[in-house]
Amino acid sequence: MYGGLASLARELEKEAWSGARYTVLLDENTFTHCLPALVSRVDALQEAEFIEVPVGEECKSLEVAAQVWQTLLEGGADRQAVLVCLGGGAVCDLGGFVAAGYKRGIRHVNVPTTLLAMADAAIGGKTAIDFGGVKNSIGHFYPAVLTVLEPSFLATLPQQELFNGMAEMVKTAAVADGELFRSLTAPDAQFSMQPMLLKRVARIKDSVVKADPYDHGIRKILNFGHTFGHAIEVYRGVPHGVAVALGMRVAMYLSVKKTGLVDEVYNAYSQWLASTLSAFGIPRATFTLKDIEQMLPLMHQDKKCAGGEVRCVLLQELGAAVIDVSVSDNEVRDAMLHL
Ligand SMILES: NC(=O)c1ccc[n+]([C@@H]2O[C@H](COP(=O)([O-])OP(=O)(O)OC[C@H]3O[C@@H](n4cnc5c(N)ncnc54)[C@H](O)[C@@H]3O)[C@@H](O)[C@H]2O)c1
Ligand SMILES: [Zn+2]
């Protein structure tokens, strides 16, 4: 379900939710900026309890999950309990993880409040915490019973967070819907606030996930740009969305060389990237050969790498991705130098 708070309010009046006891999982920012609208516009949540967790990635830990379970137990939450995850991808990832484990599984509702979570993280059933120093190392496939898209929450989101979400939206469009890609990257696009485009992206993610719920095949197309993006993120310490946006440019360059993508798409994307980064005040990144040598091992560590070669998702054309394309180190060097 991708209605906003009004449709959540109607949904929770239905018989299926009678007897439900709601707990809202949130962080300091969503407590301030999003909880007031949630409880005032959704009657069923007026009496909901809430549990606040640390902001950002810090909440995705076993310790925080244990604290949430403890609070639920102490509050007498039974299998009728419903966890409402009100936050970005971090709160939704943690909330799904907690819900999957509590009393062998309780219902959870995702109410994403960042663009990235609305377009990506809150859809698709992947839950996770970080463990042993490894991001998302423990988790389940445990879909939310409802996902609610309320774009008005984006009004208080910092610019950097908007950019992160945009990058993932462009990624999803690139691999699945060329026309949507063009709308998102048009020179006059103000798409962060265009609910219709957001919903189209969310629907694509949903349908890709439904075709491959356990991530064995087609779902890998959603990793477009990520093999290079992850290496850039780790090496340069830039935000995920910036790294993915740069990683997509590398992947597009390689797509032109290897899988027949036309130059125009690469050029248009490069232009969009340059103007969007500058509009957001994000410095452009370039890489020397020395940088690239240090990043190559990170790409080889990537889970998509097999048989000694970097493997990644490339495009044949907009909306048509190929998974598991082997790319030699020299091809990576060439593509990254072009950033
Ligand atoms: N499960 C999946 O399929 C999936 C997919 C992609 C990413 N993720 C995960 O998502 C997480 C990143 O999510 P994110 O980018 O949403 O980051 P986030 O959850 O850390 O939120 C970013 C920041 O925005 C704040 N915030 C949230 N909503 C706000 C609002 N409406 N107004 C003002 N501030 C607000 C948060 O408090 C936080 O400081 C990572 O942990 C990543 O692993 C999961
Ligand atoms: Zn991503």
Can you give the pLDDT at residue 189? Answer: 73
From the CB of 172, is ligand 1 less than 6 Å away?
no
Q: Are 97 and 85 in contact (CB under 8 A)?
A: no
What single-letter DSSP state applies at residue 121? I
Q: Would you place residue 202 in the very low, low, confident or very high pLDDT band (cuts 50, 70, 90)?
A: very high
Ligand nearest to the CA of 233: 2
From the CB of 56, is ligand 1 less than 6 Å away?
yes
Least confident piece of the model among 106-120, 228-242, 289-303? 289-303
The β-bridge relationship of strands 21-27 and 49-53 is parallel
Quote the CA–CA distance of 198 and 318 in Å, as a whole number: 18
Please say if the pLDDT value at position 203 is more than 80: yes
Q: Would you place residue 55 in the very low, low, confident or very high pLDDT band (cuts 50, 70, 90)?
A: very high
Ligand nearest to the CA of 205: 1
Q: Would you place residue 57 in the very low, low, confident or very high pLDDT band (cuts 50, 70, 90)?
A: very high
How confident is the model over 130-162, as pLDDT tens digits? 999 999 999 999 999 999 999 999 999 999 999
Quote the CA–CA distance of 5 and 39 in Å, as a whole number: 10
Neighbours of 320 (CB within 10 A): 15
Give the domains, in start order, of the chain with CATH numbers: 5-156 (3.40.50.1970), 159-337 (1.20.1090.10)
Q: Which atom of ligand 1 is nearest to the CA of 165?
A: 15
**Ligand 1 centroid from CA 166, angstroms:** 13
Q: Would you place residue 301 in the very low, low, confident or very high pLDDT band (cuts 50, 70, 90)?
A: confident
Q: How many CA atoms lie within 13 A of 87 on its CB side?
A: 31
User: Using CA positions, which residue lies closest to atom 42 of ligand 1?
Assistant: 89
Can you give the pLDDT at residue 91? Answer: 98
How confident is the model over 205-241, as pLDDT tens digits? 999 999 999 999 999 999 999 999 999 999 999 999 9
Q: Are 107 and 83 in contact (CB under 8 A)?
A: yes
Q: Which atom of ligand 1 is nearest to the CA of 153?
A: 31
Q: Are 30 and 87 in contact (CB under 8 A)?
A: yes
- The residue-averaged pLDDT of 93-101 equals 98
Can you give the pLDDT at residue 196? Answer: 85
How confident is the model over 247-264, as pLDDT tens digits? 999 999 999 999 999 999
Can you give the pLDDT at residue 73? Answer: 98
How confident is the model over 15-43, as pLDDT tens digits? 999 999 999 999 999 999 999 999 999 99
Q: Would you place residue 303 in the very low, low, confident or very high pLDDT band (cuts 50, 70, 90)?
A: low
Please say if the pLDDT value at position 190 is more than 80: no
Q: Provide DSSP, 226-285.
A: HHHHHHHHHHH---HHHHHHHHHHHHHHHHHHHT---HHHHHHHHHHHHHHHHHTTPPP-
Least confident piece of the model among 96-105, 199-208, 226-235, 297-306? 297-306
- The residue-averaged pLDDT of 177-204 equals 85
Quote the CA–CA distance of 160 and 166 in Å, as a whole number: 10
Please say if the pLDDT value at position 112 is more than 80: yes
Ligand nearest to the CA of 37: 1
Ligand nearest to the CA of 171: 2
Q: Would you place residue 192 in the very low, low, confident or very high pLDDT band (cuts 50, 70, 90)?
A: low
From the CB of 299, is ligand 1 less than 6 Å away?
no
pTM (whole model) above 0.85: yes
User: Using CA positions, which residue lies closest to atom 2 of ligand 1?
Assistant: 121
Mutate to test the pocket of ligand 1, among 34, 60, 92, 93 (most ligand atoms within 8 A of CB): 93
Please say if the pLDDT value at position 188 is more than 80: no
Task: Let me know if 236 is exposed, middle or buried by CB neighbors in 10 A (0-12, 13-18, 19+).
Answer: middle
Percent of the chain with pLDDT over 90: 89
Can you give the pLDDT at residue 339? Answer: 84
From the CB of 114, is ligand 1 less than 6 Å away?
yes
